[in-house]
Structures are given as structure tokens and as C-alpha cells.
């Protein structure tokens, strides 16, 4: 079957625009409306869709293309239907109008991640229309609530209907975009993400009039404890993902830069390697993927200038390298702050995870990419933030972030910097690119 890719691009753009026009800003989400829109499309492809969720307005949609006599574990194509909110005043086009102009689709979710919903569905549609028979089940799921932590989406589904998502492998948002390294295009496949440990620190002390202060108060205790936490140097923590990434990226450099980049893997030289990264944003990103981070995000206590408060509170957002647990992070913070009389408790935690960069699916992604662009390099990367993938990783699903997006012509910054930003948009060329790669991947990985 000869595929007319321009036509595929037009249809994918229309599909994405229609999804953008259904406002699923979370909160409140209201993903059920988007599920209702997708249901007949799923049904026409024979995916037998089901809509499920903890509340009528918070639904996710799951469909399945069944293999006759399956050989191999199912592949899950995952995306989320909710978006972060958008303030129309900051945008040059209305964020929920789904305008298609100048070869681009505009609106909230165009990159995070209704584009993923659109290209996954488009690729599977092409697979069905081309008459391919799957040798393994292909599950297509578009879910609720990712932007608020996924408890009403993938988290809820795993608790209540895991059989519907149970797969050996998964493709999700979180990676697939390209960056330029020494003139070559490197596609970053997300193979892991950091865990989360949100901590509340509480200090107590005598309250009273501030004209006759005691030497120690809740405030002085908390400040001393926070200073100790902030001064505590987080050691280098390497993962296989980062080792492979640094090695692959460094191999593109000349001899001096190559040695400098590899220095990031040495506890003695990492500071030197990080200082060589010119952009502060990239430097912070590099630092975050090789360390646990502890960030002070809140301070509360005292509302009268002349009264000493009896209790003050701080919150810490700690992000934890895979292999290191949130409990270990909590213990580390506790050990530092308890001598100051400060107590710790967790607000929320999630464990990070890491997937092998040599699994059957990862290899198929690499082969697919090279078949398209022989010069392109596939490299694994660790995400400092989190996606719904973490729920599935805990269940043993090998989920990779790979929604292909090329750097746009004339674009200097990697495309992921536009996620959650104003004027979010994606080019139709990139939708074609994504659908094309995912279609080829489905044929390679799933066709009989």
C-alpha cells in the first residue's frame, strides 16, 4: 500500500485540532468529553474501546487490537488527554481554538501531549488500513489526570483494571525529541525517570512577644535545619542511562571535548564538566540527572511582625535518582534536621525507575530511526520530572518515552522547552514525522 503522507499529515492535524478544541485543562480535566470524541474512531478500527474512570467526568479510553495466537507480550501506546491550563491573554492565538495556520497546529496540548494521542492513533489506523496482522496485542490508551499526578488516570486504572493495561512494553510521552550535538541529530529516548519525595519540615518553640525573644525559637530552629540541608552536598549518582548517554554524546565530540564530557562521570571532575556547559538551563538539567536534588519550595509561619510563632513549616521538593528510594531520601533529610529539633514527614512519594537501553523494543526504535535518518543517533535519557510511565514501570512494563519530534527549522532551543509554555504548537511536518516513525515501528515490532 502506497501511503500519501501529506494526506496523513492533514488528517493528523485535523484530529489534533479537534482534540485541542475540547478543553481538558486540569484542573478540572473533564477528559470524558475527549474520550467520547475518540470512541467512534477507536470503534471503527475494531479496537473495542472501553471508557473507565473514578468519576463520570474523569474517564480514560482504552482499546485493543487483538492478535490471533499472540507471539510476544503486548505493546501499549499511551498518552494523556488532560493538559495544563492556559491563560489566553498571554497567547498570540486562542489556546483552545485548534487553529491550523502556516503549517502548524496551535493550542494547549499541541506538544504535551495531544500530539501523542494523534500520532499514536494515526499510526495504528495506518497499520489496520494496510491490512497488517498483529503478532502481539496492541493496546491504545489515552488517559486522564497526568498533569495532576495521574491518580484519577493511570494510577486509578492500575488499581482497578490493570488487566487492560498489562503489557510487556510501552510507548509514552516524555522523549523522542531531537537535539543537535556537534552537528548531528540525537534523538533522546526516555528510558527512566526520577522518583519524588515531597517533605514537610515542622519546627516548634515558645511563642510570645517579640520584644523579649528567647535564644531559640521555632524560626531559628527551622532556619538552622534548612541551612544544614542546603549545605549538604548531594553526591554524584550515576545510572546506566546516563553512562550510555554521556558515552554516545561524547563520541560525537573532538578529543578534548570528549574527555571533558566523560569527566561528568567522575566524582572528582563532575563540577569541572558541569561548568563547561554554557547555558545555565542545560547545566541545571545535567546536574539534575546525576544527583538527587533538594529544593526548598515553601516557608510558612508567623503572621504578626511582633509575635514569635510557636510553629513554622517548610516544604522540600526532593527528586530522587532511580535506584535510590524516597525512604532513603527521607532518612537522609531526617538525619540532618533532627538534631535541630525539627520533625519530618512525607507529603507524597513515588519511586523512580529505569529501563534497559537494549531491550527488544529499544532496539526496534533504534532500527526504525536509522531506517529513516541513517545519520541520526538514538540515545537514552533520564527525565528529571515525572510522567505516568512510572506507574507502569512499577508493574514491570518496559515503557519508553518516544513520541518523535524533530527540531523545527530555524529553532535553536530543543522542542521540549515549549512544553507547558505559551503559544504551544506543532508543525504538520512533525506530525507526519511522528506518525511515520511510529507506523514503521508498529510494522517492525508488531506485524506478523
Contact positions vs Zn ion (CB under 5 A): 112-113, 173
Terminal Cα-to-Cα distance of the chain (whole angstroms): 16
Q: Are 105 and 13 in contact (CB under 8 A)?
A: yes
Nearer to Zn ion, 173 or 193 (CB): 173
Strand pairing report for 293-300 and 178-181? unpaired
CB of 80 to Zn ion, least distance (A): 6
| Least Å from the CB of residue 174 to Zn ion | 7
Residue with cell 506538544: 111
Question: What is d(CA 425, CA 421) in angstroms, rounded to the nearest whole number?
Answer: 10
Contact assessment for residue 229 and residue 221, using Cβ atoms and an 8 Å cutoff:
no
Q: What nine digits make up the cell of 446? A: 508488531
Segment holding 346, helix H or strand E: strand 342-350
Smallest separation (angstroms) from Zn ion to the CB of 121: 16
The nearer residue to Zn ion, 147 or 270, going by C-beta atoms, is 147
Among left, alpha and beta (phi > 0; psi -120 to 50; other), residue 121 is alpha
Give the nearer residue to Zn ion in terms of CB position, either 79 or 427.
79
Q: Which residues contact 227 (CB under 8 A, 6 or more apart)?
A: none
Q: Which of 443, 366, 44, 349 is nearest to 188 (CA)?
A: 366
Q: Which residue has the cell 538527587?
A: 292
Q: How far is the CB of 384 from Zn ion (least distance, A)?
A: 14
User: Measured from the CB of residue 420, what is the shortest distance to Zn ion in angstroms?
Assistant: 9
User: Which grid coordinates are listed for 368?
Assistant: 526504525
In whole angstroms, how close is the CB of 424 to Zn ion at the nearest point?
11
* Residue 438, Cβ density class (10 Å: 0-12 exposed, 13-18 middle, ≥19 buried): buried
Task: Give CA 159 to chain center in angstroms.
Answer: 21
**Closer residue to Zn ion in complex, CB, 127/391:** 391
For Zn ion, give the closer residue by CB, 79 or 202.
Answer: 79
Nearer to Zn ion, 112 or 120 (CB): 112
Strand partners, 209: 307
Backbone φ and ψ for 109, nearest 5 degrees, come out as 100, -5
Least distance in Å: CB of 244 to Zn ion? Answer: 24
Rounded to a whole number of angstroms, the minimum distance from the CB of residue 81 to Zn ion is 10
User: Which one, 336 or 392, has the nearer CB to Zn ion?
Assistant: 392
Measured from the CB of residue 401, what is the shortest distance to Zn ion in angstroms? 10
What is the C-alpha separation between 136 and 70, in angstroms, rounded?
5
- Parallel/antiparallel/unpaired status of strands 104-106 and 184-193: unpaired
CB-count burial class (<10 Å; 0-12, 13-18, 19+) for 149: middle
Distance CA 108, CA 9 (A): 19
Q: Which is nearer to Zn ion, 40 or 85 (CB)?
A: 85
Which CB, 113 or 154, lies closer to Zn ion? 113
Amino acid at each position: 500500500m502506497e501511503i500519501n503522507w501529506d494526506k496523513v499529515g492533514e488528517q493528523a492535524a485535523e484530529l489534533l485540532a479537534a482534540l485541542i478544541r475540547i478543553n481538558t485543562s486540569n484542573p478540572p480535566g473533564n477528559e470524558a468529553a475527549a474520550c467520547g470524541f475518540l470512541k467512534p474512531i477507536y470503534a471503527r478500527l475494531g479496537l473495542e474501546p472501553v471508557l473507565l474512570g473514578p468519576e463520570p467526568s474523569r474517564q480514560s479510553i482504552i482499546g485493543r487490537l487483538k492478535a490471533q495466537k499472540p507471539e510476544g507480550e503486548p505493546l501499549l501506546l499511551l498518552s494523556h488527554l488532560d493538559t495544563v491550563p492556559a491563560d489566553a491573554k498571554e497567547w498570540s492565538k486562542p489556546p483552545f481554538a485548534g487553529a491550523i495556520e502556516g503549517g502548524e497546529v496551535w493550542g494547549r496540548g499541541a506538544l504535551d501531549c495531544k500530539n501523542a494521542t494523534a500520532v499514536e492513533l494515526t499510526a495504528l489506523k495506518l497499520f489496520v488500513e494496510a491490512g497488517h496482522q498483529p503478532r502481539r496485542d496492541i493496546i491504545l490508551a489515552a488517559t486522564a489526570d497526568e498533569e495532576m499526578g495521574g491518580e484519577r488516570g493511570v494510577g486509578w486504572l492500575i488499581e482497578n483494571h490493570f488487566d487492560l493495561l498489562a503489557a510487556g512494553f510501552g510507548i509514552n510521552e516524555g522523549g523522542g525529541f531531537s537535539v543537535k550535538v556537534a552537528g548531528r541529530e540525537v534523538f533522546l529516548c526516555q528510558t527512566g525517570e526520577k522518583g519524588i519525595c515531597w517533605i514537610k519540615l515542622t519546627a516548634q518553640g515558645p511563642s510570645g512577644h517579640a520584644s523579649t525573644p528567647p535564644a531559640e525559637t521555632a524560626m531559628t530552629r527551622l532556619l538552622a535545619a534548612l541551612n544544614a540541608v542546603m549545605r549538604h552536598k548531594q553526591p554524584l549518582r550515576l545510572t546506566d542511562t546516563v553512562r550510555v548517554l554521556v558515552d554516545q554524546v561524547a563520541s560525537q565530540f573532538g578529543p578534548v571535548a570528549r574527555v571533558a564530557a566523560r569527566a561528568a562521570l567522575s566524582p572528582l571532575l563532575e563540577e569541572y564538566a558541569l561548568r563547561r556547559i554554557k547555558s545555565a538551563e542545560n547545566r541545571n538539567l545535567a546536574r539534575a540527572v546525576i544527583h538527587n536534588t533538594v529544593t526548598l519550595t515553601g516557608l510558612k509561619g508567623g503572621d504578626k511582625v511582633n509575635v514569635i510563632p510557636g510553629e513554622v513549616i517548610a516544604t522540600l521538593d526532593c527528586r530522587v535518582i532511580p535506584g535510590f528510594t524516597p525512604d532513603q531520601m527521607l532518612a537522609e533529610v531526617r538525619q540532618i534536621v533532627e538534631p535541630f529539633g525539627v520533625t519530618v514527614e512525607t507529603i507524597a512519594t513515588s519511586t523512580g525507575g529505569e529501563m534497559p537501553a537494549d531491550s527488544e523494543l529499544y532496539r526496534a526504535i533504534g532500527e526504525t530511526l536509522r531506517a529513516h535518518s541513517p545519520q541520526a543517533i538514538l540515545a537514552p535519557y533520564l527525565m528529571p520530572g515525572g510522567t505516568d510511565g512510572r506507574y507502569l514501570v512499577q508493574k514491570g512494563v518496559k515503557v519508553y518515552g518516544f513520541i518523535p519530534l524533530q527540531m523545527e527549522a530555524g529553532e535553536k532551543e530543543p522542542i521540549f522547552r515549549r512544553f507547558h509554555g505559551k503559544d504551544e504548537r506543532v508543525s504538520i511536518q512533525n506530525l507526519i514525522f511522528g506518525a511515520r516513525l511510529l507506523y514503521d515501528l508498529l510494522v517492525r515490532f508488531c506485524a506478523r
